[in-house]
A and B are shown apart, each in its own frame.
Chain A
Amino acid sequence: MIWDAVFQPFADFGFMRRALLGCIAISVGAAPVGVFLMLRRMSLTGDAMAHAILPGAAIGYLVAGLSLGAMTVGGLIAGMTVALLSGFVARVTTLREDTSLAAFYLISLALGVLIVSTHGSNIDLMHVLFGTVLALDDAALILLCSFASLSVLTLAALLRPLVLECADPQFLRSVSGLSATTHFTFLALVVLNLVGGFHALGTLMAVGIMVLPAATARFWSAGIGGLTVIAVSVAALSSVSGLLLSYHYSLPSGPAIILVAGMAYVASLVLGPSGGLRAQALPRQPIETRTEP
C-alpha cells in the first residue's frame, strides 16, 4: 500500500527519479539562500528577481530554441544585470534598493513578456513560467546539481561576512571593504538558484521553493543552523510529496510542489513552537530567572 503510493512511482519511472533528483538539488541550493533572504527581510526580492530572469530566458529561447544552455545563460545575464543595476542605483543615487529593484524588474518583465508573446507560442511561455520537472534530461540534471553545489559552497565561504552584513551592516562597512561584495555575491546566489529552479519549476514557482521552506522553518527554530536544516528538509519533503500528488492525481508538478510547501507553511504558522499562533496564545514559563546587570 505505502509501497505502491510512495515508492512504486519512483521505482517504475525514470522521469520520476530524475524529477526527484532535480527537485532535491534545487532544495539543497535554494532553501538556505531563502533563509538569508528572510533574515535580511528581502523575501520579496526573490520574487522580483524571478520576474527579472524572464527576458533573458526568452532571448535565449529566441536565439537557440528550447536550449538548456542558451536559456540558462540568458537568465543568468538578465538576473545579474538587474541585480547589479538596482544595487548600483541604490548606492549612488537617493533611490532605495527596493524601489530601484522594482523599477528594473518591471522593465525586464515587460520586455520578457513582449519577446515571448511576439515570437513564441503559448506552450513555450508555459514552459518558462511553469517549468518541466517531469522532462529533465541528463544535461539539465547536471546543471541543477552543479548550481546547487556552487551555491552551497559559496554560501559557506560567504557565511561570516553575510551574517555580519545582515546583523550589523554599518559595522561591517567600518571594519572591512567586503560589504558591497557580500551583498552582490548574495544576490548572485539568488539569481543562480532561480535560474536553476526555473528549468524544473518555472521562473515563478522557483521562488516558492526558496521562500516558503525558509518561512516555514522560522516557526520551528530561531538559530541560523536550525533554520537552514529545517528549510532544506521542508523543501525536499515538499518536492517528494508534490511529485507524488502530481503523479497520482495528474496535477501539474511545479504548483503541486509549491502548494505542499505552502501547506507546511500554514501548518507551521499555527502549530510552530517558535512564535507560531498556538505558541503565542499559550502562557509560558520563563526559561530562567537570573539577576541581570
Chain B
Amino acid sequence: MNAALTFHNLALGYDRHPVVHHLQAEIAEGSLTAVVGPNGAGKSTLLKGVIGTLAPLEGRVAFGSPRREDLAYLPQQSDVDRTFPISVVDLVTMGLWREIGPFGQLGKARRARVDAAIAAVGLIGFEDRPIGSLSGGQMQRVLFARLLLQDASLVLLDEPFTAIDARTMADLIGVIRRWHGEGRTVLVVLHDHETVRAHFPETLLLARELVAHGPTEQVLTADNQFRARQMCEACAGPPHVCGRGAA
C-alpha cells in the first residue's frame, strides 16, 4: 500500500513552541483515519501542517500520489461570514473553483453536479436560501456539499461534528464513508470515541507526540488512552518543557 502522507520526524508549533513533535507516521492511500487525542494534543495543528498554513519547525510532510493541491480541508471553525448575502447554491458551487476559476462558465453538466451534491447532503429545497438563515447543522451540510464538489483525493476534516445533532452527523458520516468507498484518503479529527469505533477503520492517537497508530481497536485501548492523557498533562506547563529533551 502506498502512503498518501508521510510524517518524517515532524515538529509543528506556534512562535517556535512545538505543539506536535517527533511525529513519525504514514497515512495509507485510500485509508479512513480518525485523529484522536486530548485537548491540546496537536490534532488541529497537524492538519494545518498538512495543508501548509503552518510550516514545520522540524522534519517534513511528504505527499504521495495526491499532491497538496489535490486536497480539500474543512477547518474546525470555518470563517464563513454568515451575514454575507450569498445563497446555498452559490456557496456550494464554489467547490468547483479549481475547474471554473474566476471566469469559467458553470454550464448544464456542472450545474447538475452541484444539484447532486446538494441532494447528497439532504438540502434539496434550500438552494436559494441565504446562508444566514441556516442552522449550524444545515451550514455544515452546505460545507460538506462544497467538499463533495472539490472532488479531492485527500480530504481533511477538523472536528466536523461539533455542535451537530445526531441525524445530521449520521448523514455526514454517510458522506465520509462514500468518500472512503471511492478510494479517497480521509483524515478526520474527532473527539467521540464511539463514533470512531463505529465508523473509522484506522486511528491515529496523538498527545503532542504519537501514542499509537493502526487499526482502531488496537489503538483505542484503555491503556493507550491513559498514556495519552498523562503525556498531555505532563506537557501542560510551558510547551517547550517536555520529557524528550531539546529537539
Contacts and interface: CB of A to CB of B under 8 A. Distances in A.
Interface of A: 39, 157-158, 160-161, 163-164, 166-172, 174-176, 178, 222-224, 227, 290, 292-293
A163 B86 contact: yes
Interface residues of B, number: 33
Q: Is the interface of A mostly helix, strand, loop or mixed?
A: helix
Contact of A175 (B79, B91, B97, B125): B97
Contacts of A160: 102-103
B91 A168 contact: yes
Contacts of A174: 51, 72-73
A39 B132 CA distance: 13
B84 A166 contact: yes
A6 to B, nearest CB: 34
B102 A167 contact: no
A28 to B, nearest CB: 21
Contact of A168 (B80, B85, B103, B168): B80
Nearest to B123: A293
Given A167-B91, A174-B73, A39 B78 contact: no
Nearest to A291: B125
A222 B128 CA distance: 13
A161 B102 contact: yes
Given A166-B81, A171-B80, A172-B97, 18 more contacts: A157-B102, A160-B103, A164-B97, A167-B86, A167-B91, A168-B78, A168-B80, A168-B81, A169-B79, A171-B146, A175-B94, A175-B150, A176-B98, A178-B102, A222-B130, A224-B85, A292-B135, A293-B168
B98 A175 contact: yes
A39 B85 contact: yes
A24 to B, nearest CB: 26
Contacts of B85: 39, 222-224, 227
A176 B80 contact: no
A170 B141 contact: no
A290 B81 contact: no
Contacts of B167: 293
A166 B79 CA distance: 10
Contacts, number: 65
Contact of B94 (A39, A164, A170, A293): A164
Given A168-B91, A174-B73, A176-B101, A39 B84 contact: yes
Nearest to B141: A293
Interface string B137-151: 110010000100010
Which 8 interchain pairs have the tightest Cβ spacing?
Answer: A167-B84, A175-B97, A293-B122, A168-B80, A160-B102, A167-B86, A170-B79, A161-B102
Given A178-B102, A292-B138, A167 B73 contact: no
A223, A290, A292 — most chain B CB neighbours (10 Å): A292
B75 interface: yes
Nearest to A225: B85
B101 A290 contact: no
Nearest to A168: B80
A178 B98 CA distance: 12
A292 B86 CA distance: 20
B139 to A, nearest CB: 11
27 contacts: A39-B84, A160-B102, A163-B84, A163-B86, A166-B81, A167-B80, A167-B81, A167-B131, A168-B79, A168-B91, A168-B94, A171-B80, A172-B97, A174-B51, A174-B73, A175-B150, A176-B97, A176-B101, A176-B102, A222-B85, A224-B85, A224-B86, A292-B138, A293-B138, A293-B141, A293-B167, A293-B168
A227 B125 CA distance: 25
B111 to A, nearest CB: 16
A157 B90 CA distance: 17
Contacts of A171: 78, 80, 94, 146
Interface string B190-220: 0000000000000000000000000000000
A288 to B, nearest CB: 10
Contact of B78 (A164, A170, A227, A293): A170
A38 to B, nearest CB: 11
B91 A170 contact: no
Contacts of A223: 85
Interface string B94-131: 10011001110000000000000000001101000011
Nearest to A159: B102
A169 B94 CA distance: 12
A167 B91 CA distance: 9
Given A175-B98, A222-B130, A170 B86 contact: no
Nearest to A218: B85
Contacts of B146: 171
B239 to A, nearest CB: 19
B84 to A, nearest CB: 4
